[in-house]
Structure 1
């Protein structure tokens, strides 16, 4: 069996949420994720993200019951009144593999998750059944029940009712530039490019149904990593509180073989960090070409 920790693996999705206790009940008690750690964000970790005011904020780290080493980190922070999901550049959504999307749709009714896209099969893409929800921090989650692999990539089957993040969605003003940055700096490869009737984007921007969005996949070998979406001209940089994480889908943590080989301008020098997520490895963060905050964990 291939190890979970490999180059390009999504190790964590960080969510900024206004009520940690309520969000923890949503993710742990409703979705069934296991608590892997909790506490307050250390000042040096906050500084490594370029978010000094996050120091001392409460957090909770969760992982799936399957044991997969992919995490969700909830960090408590006030909502920003100007933030509207799916209308700004940056990390737009986390896609999570689940066993039964129809059962999950029933479970989240009346909870802290707002269903904005009920389970629906996509014409021409029978490999998975998605649904979309917003959490208390206005974070977007796509729950995907995987049926089979795609022609150019392998999609993970869930080992627990709600398992790990396997694709992250990045909204960008320049898809080609973002793709080039991810390929040249992180050593990923380009997958397929598609023009789709993207319901979530059309709703968010008030576009007519049938309006197509161009999306491209970034992957490593047959493992999907990032879906890069070409957002409409009306999209804007994400509003955020000074010194804090971006609201909603705040940050993505990826595994890479060699931090030094990336040539990236890190916010702070790579530092070894302990805990279930970092496991004593070197860690560093950078701001990407679409303004997204990305953290890297070195595997070697």
Structure 2
């Protein structure tokens, strides 16, 4: 529970039961809390239409470093396609063995977008990508070397462990970076430019087309990867009054909500449960339409 730590990623799914079954069976997770979205929580997310919708908070079945993933029941959104719109594009989770997980994962539950491989220019991890039934994208990473460009990458303590970086598709990378630094109090990390296969495939770009991204961090702990998306990217379609489809919302720990230099959707409120622990919680929206929930630590 440190400032800038990712506590949870939320997936908005129109097929709640199927998604829940997939995470339990294929990603070795368990339910630690379930219920229905309360009116005040829905308002805090800017999602009043999801009052009464089911949710489930998940954690690794055995072990793990303490983070969560949350599923929320939502509506199907026509025209939504993953990796093509602004906002949270993917959650990166540490896994014990990317090759073994890739070999056994049910392709009907999670569509495999790429086989396990190192990222060009990085020898620190092996990862592959999957898309779930809600259009959410997960990068599943096995960390080989924990130190990278001034960052400390976590080694998985469970078969599928916590989210340690979230990928943010930005319309204006510089403006989004400044928001995360100036408004949230995170730090600017390294920038990288290289051919990004997921983006190139999604937009039909040449294999050698290069994307620039910038990491945010707190000390040596990574937070977000802010990608400059191509001009062909679009604003994410929404069902009125709901969270964005797919990768919907990211929850960070924050050391002082009163210091946040951006408006919250609703005033901070103390919330209970495994994720919140009786702490003050509030949500805001960033320049790339990313919904950010902060839990005061």
> Match of 1:110?
107
Q: What runs of 5+ residues in structure 1 fail to find an aligned partner?
A: none
> What does residue range 243-262 of structure 1 map to in structure 2 within 5 Å?
243-262=241-260
CA contact (8 A) 2:96 2:158 kept: yes
CA contact (8 A) 2:184 2:261 kept: no
Paired with 2:120 and 2:148, the residues of 1 have a C-alpha distance of 14
Report the alpha carbon displacement of residue 110 of structure 1 after superposing the two structures with TM. 3.1
Report the alpha carbon displacement of residue 158 of structure 1 after superposing the two structures with TM. 0.3
> Match of 2:8?
12
Report the alpha carbon displacement of residue 108 of structure 1 after superposing the two structures with TM. 1.1
Does residue 39 of structure 2 align to residue 48 of structure 1? no
CA contact (8 A) 1:172 1:228 kept: yes
Deviations 1:2-38 (A, max 9, x none): xxx1000001100011222211111112211121111
> What does residue range 51-200 of structure 1 map to in structure 2 within 5 Å?
51-64=47-60, 65-148=62-145, 149-200=147-198
> Match of 1:234?
232
When the two structures are superposed, what TM-score results if normalisation uses the length of structure 2?
Answer: 0.97
Deviations 1:202-231 (A, max 9, x none): 011110111000000000000010000000
Report the alpha carbon displacement of residue 152 of structure 1 after superposing the two structures with TM. 1.1
Paired with 1:182 and 1:278, the residues of 2 have a C-alpha distance of 22
CA contact (8 A) 1:183 1:190 kept: yes
Secondary structure, aligned partner of 1:44: helix
CA RMSD of aligned residues (A): 0.9
CA contact (8 A) 2:2 2:253 kept: yes
Q: What runs of 5+ residues in structure 2 fail to find an aligned partner?
A: none
After TM superposition, the runs of 4+ consecutive aligned structure 1 residues lying more than 4 A away are none
Does residue 23 of structure 2 align to residue 27 of structure 1? yes
CA contact (8 A) 1:268 1:284 kept: yes
Secondary structure, aligned partner of 1:260: helix
Secondary structure, aligned partner of 1:46: helix
Deviates more, 1:105-114 or 1:147-156: 105-114
CA contact (8 A) 1:36 1:276 kept: yes
CA contact (8 A) 2:64 2:162 kept: no
When the two structures are superposed, what TM-score results if normalisation uses the length of structure 1?
Answer: 0.97
Paired with 1:17 and 1:108, the residues of 2 have a C-alpha distance of 20
CA contact (8 A) 2:182 2:261 kept: no
Report the alpha carbon displacement of residue 67 of structure 1 after superposing the two structures with TM. 4.2
